[in-house]
């Protein structure tokens, strides 16, 4: 009898523990877009380790008119990393320990949250670890921020079936409802969002372009120049300025940067640069993706460009990047 009661008591105990765990809800994480909290000793932040961290976390973003860094970084010492600070969405912990390690935890103190831990036996080892993993660190936090925005947009996305171009191309995008149609020919889609906050209110706009091109051997031989040639052609055909003879082109004084990447599990080319209106003074940054769709012998192009005079534009372009990378090609 006593044995039976003991078993029942144990079952009730473990059941209550499970219920308590399932009912526990993490706090909502805090932090602006691309904001990163670095947990590291103050003396290390002011020394070589800090120089190393600021060099790759504070790298200037390509294609922006004003100098803006990859991340907005805040540093805090380990003793200050308590319940008030551990709710940041993106956290990098740089610390000494018994052995070298590099790991990631998600949703530990809050949700959503990404924490990267980098550990080495001494200061010299920390710098070596940073050199070894810096590209991976940037990628982890960037991917996390992209996923965060895409989840946010998913909750208020437009119905893709209303756009003839997306339907004919057989693709889908997670586009927030704030965007409005400018043009939709069945071959070319242009959507625009008015930026309704800050000093850009009234003038600022985010834009999305979607179209396709035939896949040719010429493109793969020189993707950078071909991207620019094709986007200038599209600009002249579809994106006019305020007067005759004005249309969007790639800014001639700034050489765009093209890199190979993956989008929708397909080879793609990402190009960042500046656009301008020919014979006018309008200009701004763009991010362009040429996605190789071998199955359909074509290139799908998704581009985002921003016009937001006199204010920082990093986060606007980042939102356009998140939308472009949400593409699914059927």
Residue that is written with structure tokens 């893709």 in the block: 160
SS3 214: strand
User: pLDDT digit string (tens) for 192-229?
Assistant: 999 865 544 557 899 999 999 999 888 877 898 999 99
How many alpha carbons fall within 13 Å on the CB side of residue 46? 4
pLDDT at 220: 78
Q: What is the DSSP letter of 296?
A: G
- The pLDDT value given to residue 202: 56
Give the pair of three-digit tokens for residue 12.
């009730």
User: How many of the other CB atoms lie within 10 Å of CB of 10?
Assistant: 10
Buried b or exposed e, range 89-110, using 16+ CB within 10 angstroms: bbbbbbeeeeeeeeeeeeeebb
Which pLDDT belongs to residue 24?
61
Question: Which residues lie below 8 Å from residue 33, measured CB to CB, with a gap of 6+?
Answer: 145, 149, 315, 318, 319
Q: What is the pTM of this model?
A: 0.89
Q: Nearest-CA neighbor of 65 among 296, 302, 253?
A: 253
């Amino acid at each position: 009898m006593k044995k039976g009661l003991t078993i029942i008591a144990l079952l009730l105990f473990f059941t209550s523990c499970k219920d308590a765990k399932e009912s526990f809800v993490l706090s909502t994480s805090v932090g602006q877009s691309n904001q990163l909290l670095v947990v590291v000793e103050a003396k290390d932040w002011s020394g070589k380790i800090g120089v190393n961290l600021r060099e790759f976390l504070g790298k200037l973003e390509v294609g922006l008119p004003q100098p803006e860094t990859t991340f907005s970084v805040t540093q805090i010492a380990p003793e200050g990393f308590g319940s008030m600070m551990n709710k940041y969405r993106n956290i990098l912990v740089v610390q000494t320990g018994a052995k070298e390690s590099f790991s990631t935890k998600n949703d530990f103190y809050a949700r959503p949250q990404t924490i990267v831990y980098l550990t080495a036996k001494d200061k010299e080892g920390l710098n070596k670890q940073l050199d070894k993993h810096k590209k991976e660190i940037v990628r982890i936090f960037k991917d996390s921020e992209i996923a965060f925005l895409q989840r946010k947009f998913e909750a208020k996305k437009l119905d893709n079936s209303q756009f003839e171009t997306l339907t004919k191309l057989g693709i889908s995008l997670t586009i927030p409802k704030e965007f409005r149609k400018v043009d939709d020919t069945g071959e070319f889609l242009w959507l625009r969002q008015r930026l309704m906050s800050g000093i850009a209110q009234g003038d600022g706009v985010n834009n999305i372009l979607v179209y396709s091109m035939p896949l040719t051997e010429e493109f793969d031989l020189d993707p950078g120049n071909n991207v620019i040639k094709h986007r200038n052609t599209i600009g002249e055909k579809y994106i006019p300025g305020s007067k005759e003879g004005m249309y969007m082109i790639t800014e001639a004084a700034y050489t765009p940067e093209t890199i190979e990447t993956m989008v929708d599990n397909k080879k793609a080319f990402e190009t960042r640069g500046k656009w301008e209106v020919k014979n006018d003074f309008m200009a701004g940054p763009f991010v362009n993706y040429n996605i190789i769709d071998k199955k359909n012998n074509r290139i799908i192009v998704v581009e985002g460009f921003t016009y937001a005079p006199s204010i920082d534009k990093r986060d606007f372009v980042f939102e356009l990047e998140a939308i472009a990378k949400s593409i699914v090609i059927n």
